[in-house]
Amino acid sequence: MYNTKRLGELNMETMSINKINELAKEVLDIEAKSILRLKDNIGEEFDRAIDLLFNCKGRVIITGMGKSGHIGRKIAATLSSTGTPSYFLHPAESTHGDSGIITRNDVIIAISNSGETQELLNLLPLIKRFGVKMIGMTGKLDSTLAHSSDVVLDISVEREACPLNKAPTASTTATLAMGDALAVCLLEKRGFSEEDFLIFHPSGALGKGFTYHVEDLMITGDKLPIADENKSFAEIIELISKYKLGMAMLVNDKGILTGVLTDGDIRRTLIKYQNIRPLLAKDVMSRNPKNISKKDYAASALNLMEKYSITALAVTDEQGHPIGVIHIHDLLKAGVA
């Protein structure tokens, strides 16, 4: 006999889960649209903002209250890590001495969706007194903040993702996206390189990926599984077993890399052929294998491994001769992967 009460409870639970899932999708739709709407706001004002920030002789001071402040902190962190020295200034603390960090050479980015946040507006007299240029990021172009700014970036949204249309959701997402757009454009305009990025990220996998070059981590010398492509398939299996790298590098009569034979190639060959004795390495090897230069960054090697789902890369010289192997285990040990 069915428990009708329990069946009813299960139906209610299912309905509730479906409703939650639909609401979550709606939130994501609203926030995605809020970002895409920003594309219409990229124009002369955005260009002026980039010029102000690029030519700033001091630092970029970002300020905002509440949720805008949280977003401002993230924008400041992103700018700093990509070559634009930035600080976050809490507007409420600014009137109790913290505004002393502002200099005449700085540029202010003030964030307020309403453009009427009182703690932010309290900073205006000081900003105007010092003659500091200010970029206002606001959703209200007729607000006090907008009228007081040298450049205004429109971050308005049609509605918040909150069902009450009250909690800052879509508006903060749009603000964050606009901040990222500023940071990336400045990065490009400055010619910010991988080496520059390393300077600001010396710790962690990102930094280590640019600290090490392939030659620092690759296997060389008599530890390399290199063989002539005309060797028998059986001989290459023995070579792979001996060096325990999961692959062998195969070369032609000029010593140029023509292919690799991996554990995966071996499995596929054994499945395909009943008799492997007549087979040569070149008959079953993977031709035109992925390879890398010893001068490349370890991060580049990791990118290739992840992209093509491989665990080892042949390292070749300018003529295509194999000179090393870099293995995922070496990247792991170095903290790159």
For 50-66, the pLDDT digits (tens) are: 999 999 999 999 999 99
**Predicted model pTM:** 0.57
Task: Identify the pLDDT of residue 163.
Answer: 83
Neighbours of 259 (CB within 10 A): 20
Task: Identify the pLDDT of residue 333.
Answer: 85
Judged by phi (left if over 0) then psi (alpha if -120 to 50, else beta), residue 83 lies in left
Q: What integer is the mean pLDDT of 237-256? A: 94
Q: What integer is the mean pLDDT of 20-32? A: 91
Burial class (CB in 10 A: 0-12, 13-18, 19+), 263: middle
Ranges of each domain in the chain: 18-192, 214-334
Q: Where are the alpha helices (DSSP H) in the chain?
A: 4-37, 44-54, 67-81, 91-94, 118-121, 124-130, 144-148, 170-190, 194-200, 204-211, 214-217, 233-243, 263-272, 281-284, 298-308, 328-334
Give me the percent of the chain exceeding a pLDDT of 90.
Answer: 65
* Cα 103 from Cα 276, distance rounded (Å): 77
Instruction: For the chain, count helices (H), then strands (E).
Output: 16, 12
Neighbours of 254 (CB within 10 A): 9
60: Cα within 13 Å, side-chain hemisphere: 31
Task: Identify the pLDDT of residue 128.
Answer: 86
Residue 245: both structure tokens together: 């790298």
Selecting from 3.40.50.10490, 3.50.50.60, 1.10.1840.10, 3.20.20.30, what CATH number does the domain 18-192 have?
Answer: 3.40.50.10490
Give the CATH H-level superfamily of domain 214-334.
Answer: CBS-domain (3.10.580.10)
